[in-house]
Structure 1
Amino acid sequence: MTAYFAYRHMAPFGTSSLLTVDLGQQYIDFFAYLRRTILHDPSAIFYSFSNGLGGEMVGNWAYYLLSPLNWLLFFFPGTSLSSGIFLLTVLKYGLAGLSFAWLLLKLTPQRGFVAITLSTAYAMMGWTIANQLNIMWLDALFFLPLIFYGLYRLVVTNHWRAYLIWLTLMLIVNYYMAYMICLFMILAFIWIAVTHFTSWRKLALQAGRFALGSLTSGLLAAVVLLPTWWSLTQSKAQYTVTSFKWKFEFFPPKMLAKFFMGTFNFDQMPSGTANLFVGAIAVLGALFFLVDRRQTLRSRLTAGIITLFLAASLCVQPLDLLWHAGQFPVWYPYRFSFIVGFWLIWLAAQTLTADFQPGPLAIALVTVVVAGGCFYVGENLKKFSFLHSNAFWLGALFVVLALLIYALPIRKHWLYPLMLFVVGVTEVTANAFLSLNNISYVSQSEYANYTNELQRLVDKTQAHDQSFYRIGKTFLRTKGDAFQTGFNGGSVFSSALPKATPTFMGHIGSPDGDGFVEYSNGTLVTDSLLNMKYYFQQKQLSGALAGSNMLPASTNKADLAAYRPIRQDHWATTYQNPYALPIGYAASDQILTLKNGTADPAQYQANWVAALTGNAQDKHLYQVENFNQVTFQNINQQTKITGAILQKKNLVKPASITLTIKPDTNDAYYLTFGSTVNPDNATFILNGQPLNQYKTYRNTILVSVADHAKGKTLKLTIQLKKSSLWLENFTLYRLQTAQFKQATTQLQQHPWQLTQHSQRSFDGTVTATTAHQVLNTSIPYAAGWHATVNGHSAKVYKTLGMFNAVKLRKGTNHVKLSYWPPMLNLGLLISTLTLLVVSLIWWGQHRRHRPRPANDHHRRH
């Protein structure tokens, strides 16, 4: 794999990188956070304001960051992090092969070339090649053989230590993949127990040991599992599917195509069938196991039933959901198929022994099965866009070669293992080459140039101002830019994102999804209320550099005209927001009872301000405005624009609508776009330039189109990409800027004057002018936040379903807010007590089995 990556010029070998899809868009940012937190800011371990507007981090650590190999990343500062990811990737490939080979050496007669062939097939199976970008899942590959070995020892020889250690470590390192391994351990226990069955009493004892060992592992890992479970109840667990149908997700034989090489590409990532490639040697070996008379009939029958269950799990909806803990995966389907690969290669290892010589009937049966599979795939080749005919015929050739090797009566000849090695390793290598050649990667310069420039902007801002604030920007590489460069932001892409965060972002008119939020559509109002004190905007370069800015624009933000430019370099300008409110301030207690009664983000923002100021007039901050002129091209005239359905007159000709706006004030103007008014359905051009906008949004967003533009003519052209366009929630608003300034001035009067702050604690004083005020903060609420007011414990209230607030008494109040993960203390207690008990039992067993000194007998007599 190192040779292949060097051939593709991956950093450190050239100008490319291993960054692609989620590895480049999500995980690398978490790795940057890991380095910064451990080396520079340990207060961010449990809570971080780089996590969207702020969020707990236990769920992110448990899912992304607890691999012991991640410590190697400390040696890769800055943009060399991509080289660290390369090192992690090849190490995990290597450890997967090493651990499977070790399992074979311990539990089977496999040695030499055969062991290397099977362990290479395991390390480089289709699942690994397809999921190497999901780097945190790869730990499961090298833990699985060790856990299986521990289970085998537990069941067969009553030695429990290996099972306990490896399963506990897996539960800590990645609970998600550990869950799948735990399910497989149930199946593996059944096969091992049946294969070694001697009596029902012994079976009951084995089952008891298995249950007790598994439970003990869970208790030992409670320090991670319990706070993670709590985190999941706020995030992923809220998307669990509760109703399902017993049905096939596709025609089951379709998955046979994935046993061929080169069957992975970008289209397979979101919704393909399972990645099942393990090579012809392993597939044939598993089939021969089922007809191998050297194995007991009960062992073969049990293996056959388990194999059928795994096959059904790859295409029957409820079983698929079971393996994914009740949730359909968003991208990367059938994530548990590494289990199938392990199982097939393990069965092949049972078969490929020196005394195995299949008879004519066994060869005939296996030949019929594989020939039938090849025939089906060959006949339907046009239906499999991911499988090219060359790869199919090459795969069929390897099947023939593997069959010949199995059939040849040269089992004990030195040539036999060498032939297995050459055929097996060549096939899995060819699969890696063909599959990964289908994938494109982020160049090292694209990642490094952007990251270095953003880091410069952040460093200069933080050197200039050490108070607590958030930073907004009008450009984007990933939604985790704040993690990557260490600032308090408003965007994040995380599987552990609490559901409340995207819900809130959808309300205020910024793009959101189940696992991401992107603060690209902030208004003067939200920038103020969310403590967005500074903004970075990319420069429009001209001449030879036009369009080459390394900071790709993600939004149109005309209202930056209301902010003060304080610094600039060749690529970007930094603005200071004079209306930014502090992280906390005294406000009306009406905010505690505000309920959302609108789907209009402009009205939502106005209601929010009114609840904070206590001034009902602020509910009318935004005014609906008419367009000065509307012209239609190849579209029927419409009298009302909002909610109109635009239809092309002539389907083959271009169609567009041009809206003219001529502001008669210097106020900020915004357009609302409903979810159908998006870049997939139309092209938006503002004053001859493309209107920059983050592409994915499912709720109505607010788009800044003008500010300080009195008397100027603005033209927005919407070009239809399809035959029709629904202008859902398409409305022009004017923010009454004078009234907005009055509201922010009022709220700025009594700030929370912080004497100390970190990522998980704030301490300071705030003055309330009446008994009906609260300390309102833009710190996202979580059950782990605890407050004291004037030294006494106080209740933390949730506002807008999103933020922390604390009631104040009239006068000066000393308020402290601090965060500690829920259930962490309980988990720590359970893990410590369990470890103590296990250690005492082990010590007792060790003493009992320790050999006595030779003269002990004489001393007693």
Structure 2
Amino acid sequence: MKKFLHTAKYYLAAFIIPIIVILVAFAFRGIEPFGSHNLLVSDLATQYLPFFDFLRSQLVHHTFSTYSFMLSLGDNAIPIYTYYLMSPLNLLVVFVKAANVPLLMEAIIVMKIGLISLSMEFFLNVKYHRQDIQQVLAAIAYGLCGFVAMYFYDFMWLEALMLLPLVTLSLERLFTKGKWGCYVVTLAVAIILNYYMGYMMCIYSVIYFIYLVLLHRPAGTKFWHYLREHGEMTCKYVISSILAAMLSCFMLIPTIVGMLSTGKGSLSLVSFLPTLRFLPSAFVSLGVGATNFVGRLNHEPSFFIGSLFEIGLFVFWLSKRVSKKEKHASYWLVGAIFFGMLISTFDTIWHMFQMPAGFPFREVYMLSFVVIMLGYEAYLKGAFQNNQIVVKAGVIVAALVSLGYVSAVIEYFIAGKFGWSTPFYVASYWHLVWALLFILATILMLIAINRYGNKLWWLMLALVALEMGTNAWMSLGGTHEYGSQSKFAHAFEQSTKIIKTQQTGKHQFGRSNINNQLYGKSFNINYNQYNDSLLYNFFGVNSYTSSLNVHTHDSLSKLGLYSRNERRISVNGSMPVTNQLLNIDNHVQINRHGKYHTHRDYRFSGLGYAVSDKINGLHLDSNNVFKNLNSLVQKEAGNQTNYFVANQINHVQVKEHRHGYQYKVKTTPQMNGIQYFDSPTTSPNQFLQIKVDGKPLKTAYHQLGAEIIRVGRYQKGQSYTITFNSNQKIKHLNRDLAGFDENKFNQFVKDTQPYRLQVKNPQNLKFKGNHFVGFVRTTKQRPQLLISIPYDKGWQVTDNGKPVKLKKVINGLTGIKLKPGKHKLEFTYHIPGLVAGIILTVLGIVGIGGELIYFRRKDKNRGK
């Protein structure tokens, strides 16, 4: 019992202390439950909260839909589950009210920090067969390292930090004892919980395996010769790594297939060029408070692990108590990860062959882990007992931090001189003083411990906790974006009631365009309502996710809807033609006070409608929206009617300024009716200022741009002047201004009414989108059913019980060629790649059995 309590106290300390430290940091920032703020900032607000609510809805309604019509026009939901929602802790969402999900996410972050530290404690305990307070110090440093401080907003990645010590431990067990089972299980779990970080873990396992070879091979033995000598161990590693990947294939293959349908399927060759990813200024991250919330998207590698273990690494390298072989092996281990981040070629490979868009250097936590491990080994070897080496190591760390700050100043000066843009961000140059003070305090504490005894390690524990907590507190600073939880909960619940009333009584499938300023104003960030359909369970168009279907993105952006990048699509820019195509029949405006206005267009009800087969010949151009819209209606109707006519450009005045160009254009409509402007691409942080005849023009989100904007109703020949800004020069202004013949289009809509696709029980698609039944009538003139869902090979459709083929139309939507007559269509979604994934997983299980039998027999034969 005494031994159990002795062991338990270290584990308890490793788990509890980091939790206390991060809660204190939260308290000083006024974050719930110690203040009024919540953490709904960055991706926590725009992605994780909606995805958590999506998961909650599935659990509450006891469903698991592999396809969701609330992901923009509809999309494979598997990548959402596997990339964002695989953590078992996420299941706690079922026990809280929807309005309290932000508090749950904060609690999960705190729990994960405790579990990360606990995992490090377990690793050091088992690896070195001892327990001491220094392991608790290592656990605190790892659990609150720079990666955690800067990346907890994407807390789906934190599982990787928990599993890294376990994967490392099981890899060492395989190498030294030939026991491979734990390695297979831990690596497979890492891939399953987050395949992105699991992929990185696979690269890390290769680096660490080479480290073990370098560490254990006898002097004079070549690397490859050692592997051949220990062929059985090498085979176990290779085979076990493959089997671990195969075990995860049941979710990995469907995910890969799903992700290949996103804009991430293409590679940028530029990112593979061997250029430097950071300069000496990166060493500022060795000190406290180098970056904070403002620099979370673009910053240098988050090296920070606290002064003790940064000094410990150099103590390890400087001390004579550490053998040359151990030092050389550590050069490989630290260098492979460090230079893997430094060189773009390797860093791109680390990030699954795609340079990350924000939150860079996602592999840096692995460097933190191995440096802490080496620092702890320096302590075990008694290297810290040499005050001279401690001081020398401390001076090196202080010099690197100082070099980082000096380099940052020089880099800013040079960049400003030549007009270069730089993503580098320093929270405050004054933080250099705090960094140097912590380094000095750590050196003095180590000297005091050497003089007065090991009891002072408890003071070192307090110092490490203070330094890590200070960095966490500083990392949370620099912003006023943290919102009010009470304000959020009130806006969320009020919005839920309003939107729910808008969904009642609807018997046809229809999408909604909901501009919810009430909910948006509950944030202190620019909230663009991308994933609100997941929050409030309605069919919409907006979406922001790394798994956005590329067909959705390409089709809609070329038809004038706003897209900032391949991960986002917005309903902004919709107009009657796209409303008809996408079946946007419900327009709701909710102001910031909770008052709302609803407009319903019953003409557009239906998930699809029958059109002319000429639609198969439509290909959308990248830079000619009005031509695309005109051709779309012409191909649908099978006629040559001009629904859009370009304006005449009379005079153009362009003024160049610091942020781009200011245009003043006098134009004359060539058609009576509504006039539209296809606004140019504008920086998301720059306001799009549009004036018509000197009067400001209101837009839904005037800071975005690159969308169709209604100018007003004008007569043919009635000139007007439009003024707007752009961050780029416009080559073809005559493509950007056009009149729209609404009367002719309304006739087309009226003619289409009898040929709509009527979906049976459309409300069921909210929670079970992978199966539905629809009815439609076609004719010789309208044989092609056009459906406003992205083309996806996972859909299987039967027409009156007989299979029919799907076609890709309009650059990515779905079409079905049907014979004239009435049709009962049954749609069933089968997860692409699932069968292949299950087969590979089963083969992996069989392979494990085969490996087990083979090596057991070999061991028995060896023992005879």
TM-score relative to the length of structure 1: 0.86
Q: Secondary structure at the match of 2:755?
A: coil
Equivalent in 712, 723, 726 of residue 718 of structure 1: 723
Q: Secondary structure at the match of 1:83?
A: helix
Q: Which structure shows the higher helix fraction?
A: 2
- Residue 647 of structure 1 contacts residue 723 of structure 1 at CA under 8 Å; is this kept in 2? no
Read off the aligned partner of 2:787 and give its amino acid letter: T
Q: Does the C-alpha gap of structure 1 residues 717 and 614 become closer, same or farther in structure 2, counting only changes over 3 Å?
A: closer
* CA shift for structure 1 position 506: 1.7
- Equivalences for residues 447-846 of structure 1 within 5 A: 447-475=488-516, 477=527, 478-512=529-563, 513-539=565-591, 549=592, 570-597=594-621, 599-617=623-641, 620-625=642-647, 640-641=650-651, 644-647=652-655, 657=664, 667-675=673-681, 680=686, 683-685=689-691, 691-694=698-701, 700-706=706-712, 718=723, 728=733, 731-755=736-760, 758=765, 759-770=769-780, 773-838=783-848
Query: Partners of 1:379 and 1:142 in 2: how far apart?
Result: 35
Residue 124 of structure 1 corresponds to which residue in structure 2?
Answer: 144
Query: Partners of 2:460 and 2:654 in 1: how far apart?
Result: 65
Q: Does the C-alpha gap of structure 1 residues 381 and 230 become closer, same or farther in structure 2, counting only changes over 3 Å?
A: closer
Q: Does the C-alpha gap of structure 1 residues 9 and 681 become closer, same or farther in structure 2, counting only changes over 3 Å?
A: closer
Q: Secondary structure at the match of 2:690?
A: strand
**Structure 1 residues 449-458 or 46-55, which shifts more?**
449-458
Query: Partners of 1:353 and 1:412 in 2: how far apart?
Result: 18
- Residue 586 of structure 1 contacts residue 775 of structure 1 at CA under 8 Å; is this kept in 2? yes
Query: Partners of 1:716 and 1:14 in 2: how far apart?
Result: 51
2:403 is the counterpart of 1:393: no
Q: Secondary structure at the match of 1:501?
A: helix
Residue 444 of structure 1 corresponds to which residue in structure 2?
Answer: 485
Q: Secondary structure at the match of 1:263?
A: coil
**Structure 1 residues 792-801 or 355-364, which shifts more?**
355-364
Q: Secondary structure at the match of 1:828?
A: helix
Residue 307 of structure 1 corresponds to which residue in structure 2?
Answer: 334
Residue 198 of structure 2 corresponds to which residue in structure 1?
Answer: 178
* CA shift for structure 1 position 497: 1.5
Q: Secondary structure at the match of 2:678?
A: strand
- Residue 26 of structure 2 contacts residue 473 of structure 2 at CA under 8 Å; is this kept in 1? no
Read off the aligned partner of 1:10 and give its amino acid letter: I
**Stretches of structure 2 lacking an aligned partner (at least 5 in a row):** 1-21, 219-225, 413-424, 521-526
Equivalent in 276, 282, 297 of residue 255 of structure 1: 282
- Residue 612 of structure 2 contacts residue 781 of structure 2 at CA under 8 Å; is this kept in 1? no
Equivalent in 1, 18, 30 of residue 51 of structure 2: 30
- Residue 647 of structure 1 contacts residue 724 of structure 1 at CA under 8 Å; is this kept in 2? no
Query: Partners of 2:683 and 2:23 in 1: how far apart?
Result: 46
Q: Secondary structure at the match of 2:689?
A: strand
Aligned length: 800
Q: Does the C-alpha gap of structure 1 residues 576 and 846 become closer, same or farther in structure 2, counting only changes over 3 Å?
A: farther
**Structure 1 residues 360-369 or 762-771, which shifts more?**
360-369
**Structure 1 residues 123-132 or 406-415, which shifts more?**
406-415
**Stretches of structure 1 lacking an aligned partner (at least 5 in a row):** 540-548, 551-569, 627-638, 851-861
Query: Partners of 2:475 and 2:132 in 1: how far apart?
Result: 28
- Residue 804 of structure 2 contacts residue 816 of structure 2 at CA under 8 Å; is this kept in 1? yes
Q: Percent of counterpart pairs with the same letter?
A: 22
* CA shift for structure 1 position 799: 0.6
Which digits, 9 at most, give the CA deviation of each residue in 1:294-330, with x for residues without a partner?
A: 4432221011123223222232211211211221111
Equivalent in 61, 82, 88 of residue 81 of structure 2: 61
Q: Does the C-alpha gap of structure 1 residues 232 and 29 become closer, same or farther in structure 2, counting only changes over 3 Å?
A: same
Q: Secondary structure at the match of 2:179?
A: coil
Q: Does the C-alpha gap of structure 1 residues 670 and 405 become closer, same or farther in structure 2, counting only changes over 3 Å?
A: same
Query: Partners of 2:722 and 2:674 in 1: how far apart?
Result: 20
What is the root-mean-square deviation of aligned Cα atoms in Å?
A: 3.4
Read off the aligned partner of 2:535 and give its amino acid letter: Q
- Residue 680 of structure 1 contacts residue 721 of structure 1 at CA under 8 Å; is this kept in 2? no
Q: Does the C-alpha gap of structure 1 residues 209 and 381 become closer, same or farther in structure 2, counting only changes over 3 Å?
A: same
Read off the aligned partner of 1:646 and give its amino acid letter: V
* CA shift for structure 1 position 397: 2.0
Equivalent in 160, 168, 179 of residue 140 of structure 1: 160
* CA shift for structure 1 position 13: 4.3
Q: Does the C-alpha gap of structure 1 residues 816 and 387 become closer, same or farther in structure 2, counting only changes over 3 Å?
A: closer
Query: Partners of 1:331 and 1:189 in 2: how far apart?
Result: 30
- Equivalences for residues 62-101 of structure 1 within 5 A: 62-101=82-121
Which digits, 9 at most, give the CA deviation of each residue in 1:450-477, with x for residues without a partner?
A: 4334322331122221432111124464
Q: Secondary structure at the match of 2:450?
A: coil
Equivalent in 296, 301, 306 of residue 279 of structure 1: 306
- Residue 285 of structure 2 contacts residue 301 of structure 2 at CA under 8 Å; is this kept in 1? yes
* CA shift for structure 1 position 391: 2.0
